Structure 1
Amino acid sequence: MSRLAWADLLRIGLQRLRLSPEDFWALTPAELQLMLGSPSRSGPLLSTGLVALMALYPDDGEGTDDER
């Protein structure tokens, strides 16, 4: 198991990303990874991927189960 370099991540968050300490510590690891520009495993969602998702999950105007 590798250890995270929290001091380095905090320095980058405060200096490069200009986050407050409170905002830095409130981030999830996924949010921090996204802000740092780390490559995702699946890559960006391109228009073809969006079209495929829209075909699988069409907006029928009825809302989600949570909204019913």
Structure 2
Amino acid sequence: MKVAFATQDLHSLDAHFAGARNFAIYDVSPEGSRFIEAVRFDAATKQDGVHAEDGHDRLESRIDAIDGCS
């Protein structure tokens, strides 16, 4: 099963979906896990509670990136 983790640094689970700089995508099974890819985004927040400008849609590209993930 493919899973995606929202991450700022590709090492920690430290971001929320809409503000993450990256998604780390893994294949996970009962036997273990395997890193598949990192998807990077230009539009990311500083995780300081300030949101992007109105009209700036960061969700569409993130939703597309996790297609096929559980």
TM value normalised by structure 2: 0.22
- Structure that is richer in helix per residue: 1
Larger radius of gyration: 1
TM value normalised by structure 1: 0.22
- Structure that is richer in strand per residue: 2
Which one scores higher on RCO, CA 8 angstroms, separation ≥ 6? Answer: 2
